[in-house]
Amino acid sequence: MKFKHLFFAAALFSIAPLFCACNDDDNEIEVPRDPEEDPSSQPDTTPEVTSPTEATGLYVINAGNLSNNVNGTLSFINFEKGTASNNVFFDINKRSLGSTPQDAIVYGSKMYIAIYGSNIIEIVDKNTAKSIKQIVPTSTQGEGPRDIIAANGKVYVSMYDGYVSRIDTLSLTIDATLNVGPNPEEMTVANGYLYVANSDGMNYGADYANGKSVSKIGLKTFTEAKRIPVGLNPTKICSTTEGNVYVLAMGNYNDISAKVQKIDNMNVVTDVTEATLMTVKDNTLYLINAPYGATANTYFSIDTKTGNETKNIIDQPVDSPCGIAVNPFTGNIYISSYNMVGGWPSYTTDGYVNEYSANGKFTNKYNVGVGPCGLTFLLK
């Protein structure tokens, strides 16, 4: 449901600057509020768990630009009002979100944001984006937060220097750290395990030679049970309600194409299809294949129970897709994109998010920040 982030790869190949989203005229953050008291002002007594029943909005994590030292921003799409507010973190906290935020997860009353370049995990109130706490991992806890996911009262963060750290939602501190493969990216939870895609993304000079694995970690023991061989440069990963795991290996952005592979509960890996972006709802994969330099992109879905593929799942393509998410309750589809300038994706101008109904009909376009690669729903 989250996407989690083509920004880093795009920066490597474009070496293009990205700068921050502009402020809205109205400084009010148009975020639906819970009728209860501000949970950040109340003492916690148990680790947070969550059983949401609806999504009322979509947070967009705009990565900014690492090479130009331009910080990232946070946008919010309010479903009830059909509007987008930009720079919402700055407006409420009067400071920058940080350098190259990558991902976020809403869990319980809070949202946890992985800020790669600043080496910070920012914890905010999910309804207001008001900062509650910053976690700055030490060198022994891993550095460079990339992806973030939650399960069973814990939040897990992949650290780009080769670790996964676990956050206790009661104390809001890192309580355990585990070494995994090189440059871990996205994670998913299935069958009592945490699956971590090890990309070796910084080793592009050697063609991602060590980026061919997924770490399978027991949630109860927080130890690596198995390292599963997969395709080259795995970056994205998700799981279905049946417990099958799907990993997207990006290849080398040249002669080795990106592909999706299935990992079953016996750790058997099989090829599924070619794609560059992926998300899941229940047992349906939503996929985009937009290889670097392609003149046309494809948008399709696969029913993982039957194997049936549906082509052209949206009626209006975006310019240059960089993220995809599907509302887990309504099935509405959200695709983020760079704008085109001079016939090429622009990494120096604001992007946008298109909304589609569950049957793929275009319904709205929201202007957001630069590099809008991270998408996560505000769950209630």
Per-residue pLDDT of the chain (380 residues; tens, 9 = 90+): 443 333 333 333 333 333 333 333 333 344 444 433 344 444 444 566 668 899 999 999 999 988 877 789 999 999 999 999 999 999 999 999 999 999 999 999 999 999 999 999 999 999 999 999 999 999 999 999 999 999 999 999 999 999 999 999 999 999 999 999 999 999 999 999 999 999 999 999 999 999 999 999 999 999 999 999 999 999 999 999 999 999 999 999 999 999 999 999 999 999 999 999 999 999 999 999 999 878 899 999 999 999 999 999 999 999 999 999 999 999 999 999 999 999 888 888 999 999 999 999 999 999 999 999 999 999 99
Tokens read off for 243: 């417990």
What pLDDT, on a 0 to 100 scale, did the predictor assign at position 29? 41
What pLDDT, on a 0 to 100 scale, did the predictor assign at position 15? 34
Asked, for residue 232, whether it belongs to a domain, the answer is no
CB 301 within 8 A of CB 284: yes
Tokens read off for 22: 């502009």
Using DSSP, state whether 10 is helix, strand or coil.
Answer: helix
Q: How many whole angstroms separate alpha carbon 190 and alpha carbon 62?
A: 28
Asked, for residue 119, whether it belongs to a domain, the answer is yes
Asked, for residue 331, whether it belongs to a domain, the answer is no
Q: How many whole angstroms separate alpha carbon 105 and alpha carbon 82?
A: 22
Q: Which of 327, 310, 318 has its CA nearest to residue 290?
A: 318
Asked, for residue 326, whether it belongs to a domain, the answer is no
Taking only the tens place, the pLDDT of each residue in 188-227 is 999 999 999 999 999 999 999 999 999 999 999 999 999 9
Tokens read off for 79: 């479903």
Asked, for residue 145, whether it belongs to a domain, the answer is yes
Query: Which CATH number is 153's domain given?
Result: 2.40.10.480
CB 188 within 8 A of CB 241: no
Asked, for residue 342, whether it belongs to a domain, the answer is no
Asked, for residue 305, whether it belongs to a domain, the answer is no
What pLDDT, on a 0 to 100 scale, did the predictor assign at position 77? 98
Q: How many whole angstroms separate alpha carbon 106 and alpha carbon 141?
A: 22
What pLDDT, on a 0 to 100 scale, did the predictor assign at position 35? 35
Phi, psi of 7, deg, nearest 5 = -55, -45
Asked, for residue 222, whether it belongs to a domain, the answer is no
CA 60 to chain centre: 9
> Residue holding tokens 């090479």?
67
- Which residues partner with 82 through β-bridges? none
Domain that holds residue 113: 106-179
Q: Radius of gyration over alpha carbons of the chain, in Å?
A: 19
What pLDDT, on a 0 to 100 scale, did the predictor assign at position 264? 96
Domain count, the chain: 1
What pLDDT, on a 0 to 100 scale, did the predictor assign at position 225? 98
